[in-house]
A and B are shown apart, each in its own frame.
Chain A
């Protein structure tokens, strides 16, 4: 059993996004975080201070731990932003502005 089966989902056609340069499949309607989770990725940010990896924590847009760079724009909450075909998703280092 998996969640798609259990909800009897018939998602639209799988699209491709890239994560740190490698192609990943994504389902239309999923958030960036959901697509990354489905691909087995759990971390896509390193913290400003100690550079520790982070990913989803609260899952509802409150904690800002899942910040990620999408199409060159840093500080996007991966748990809120829907994935689009061809999205270029990159691990966000620190502030995401290349200033650390």
Chain B
């Protein structure tokens, strides 16, 4: 009997799980590699088992879908069809030839000091995304956290960042963050959304096809009311205040052109600001393999294949659109990979339902993107003295100088002139802000190593022929 083909799936969130399950059910031996201790990704982030949570669903949405994924994963693992490598932090993928195996390099354990390599015939990249946060005075104060970060700490560690929280920025993530923090006992002093959510209603065609999403939106509205959370639409945080830690924020109203309304500024006392301005895809691993990007996301075809043979991608990495879209994309990717690895051409008719969901949810994501764009003129409002690159402590003024006086026209040149983007996070946090301030396009940074790697791990890699 011949060995079954092998697929490595990077990322155990909705897209990676759906892909792993679809492939494992079709005769593929799957290795699921993920940085967390438990499957679920960010959307279904689980509390640590030692916390003994008997009702983790109180902090979650669409829990039944999670139960289905979790139970199917357990069945496939028990049957030896899926190997789940937890706490494995992937730093690089390489492929020596178009037909050769794909090697995944990872660091094991929370200390990330031990190198591990996994080889397979093909790979599915389900690396997810991370939050975009645009700077404002005071955004580096302790107590200012990303909206997703506050949610992750709540879901994973069952802790709150403080007692009185302002949730601010723009995007659909702010709703579950505000309701989730309130349900867990925080006082949410305000939900400050720079967009006008009513504008979504004007996108009738995209919405009409989404009865589920409409109901979800209505559900959040009801929960905000129940927790007494006041929503300030078309408002923005102008500054965060405090000495050593956050004590208050100033918010102001925006006019139709995204300018601050004179006289509208008011101060809200709080010890926590959970802020975010949408999401960006994680594309480092795809780029290292040579996959073409479209904007800031990995480009895929109708089968979720990248333009590098043997490399599939699904979920937020291919364009931010939420967990339901990630599930549909992952499912299609897993089925396509299984067929291709068995040397057959897949019949897309077999995944027609997932395909319809994908089309519908991508249209919805586009509508959300249009409505929840950062307010026009945000970059002009960042004072020269505000730190933009949090790692290297580079200010907005320095970035403006690099772009203006020194003529830098792209992120790389700004980085070389100012060090913005050269620190620990490798520009993931400051990239969008630097691009906005310098007036250059936000391009995905080329990062051959997706995370810091100990020199000992590099030295221990076998030499190439």
Contact = CB atoms under 8 A, between A and B. Distances in A.
Interface of A: 1-12, 27-31, 33-34, 37-38, 42-43, 47-50, 52-65, 67, 76, 79-82
A59 B144 CA distance: 11
Nearest to B246: A42
Given A4-B158, A9-B158, A29-B49, A53 B245 contact: yes
B393 A49 contact: yes
A62 B426 CA distance: 9
B47 A7 contact: yes
A80 B108 CA distance: 13
A43 to B, nearest CB: 4
A35 to B, nearest CB: 8
B140 A10 contact: no
Contacts of A9: 47, 51-54, 158
Contacts of A52: 140, 393
Contacts of A1: 183-185
B58 A58 contact: no
B425 A63 contact: yes
B153 A33 contact: yes
A65 B390 contact: yes
B58 A81 contact: no
Contacts of A31: 156-157
A63 B183 contact: no
A8 B393 contact: no
Interface size class of B (residues with CB under 8 A): 35 or more
Contacts of B131: 58
B457 interface: no
Nearest to A51: B393
Contacts of B35: 61
A29 B56 CA distance: 14
Contact of B146 (A7, A28, A59): A59
Contact of B145 (A8, A34, A59, A61): A59
A55 B246 CA distance: 12
B183 A53 contact: no
A59 B275 CA distance: 12
Nearest to A55: B142
A47 B393 contact: yes
A9 B159 CA distance: 12
Contact of B51 (A5, A11, A61, A79): A11
A59 B153 contact: yes
20 contacts: A1-B183, A3-B160, A7-B55, A7-B56, A9-B47, A11-B52, A29-B50, A30-B157, A43-B244, A53-B142, A54-B142, A57-B146, A57-B149, A58-B131, A60-B148, A62-B130, A63-B390, A64-B425, A79-B149, A81-B110
A16 to B, nearest CB: 16
Contacts of B423: 64
A93 B179 CA distance: 36
A6 B157 contact: no
Interface in B296-349: none
A34 to B, nearest CB: 3
A79 B143 CA distance: 14
B283 interface: no
B150 interface: yes
B161 interface: yes
Nearest to B128: A60
Contacts of B156: 31, 34
Nearest to A56: B145
A59 B158 contact: no
A6 B429 CA distance: 32
Contact of B130 (A3, A7, A60): A60
Q: Which of B146, B148, B183 has the most A CB atoms < 10 Å from its CB?
A: B146
Q: Which of A3, A9, A31, A55 has the most B CB atoms < 10 Å from its CB?
A: A3
Interface string B33-70: 00100000010000111111111101100000000000
A11 B50 contact: yes
A60 B127 CA distance: 13
A29 B49 CA distance: 7
Nearest to B282: A62
A81 B392 CA distance: 23
Given A57-B149, A59-B148, A60-B42, A27 B58 contact: no
B159 A59 contact: no
B268 interface: no
A94 to B, nearest CB: 11
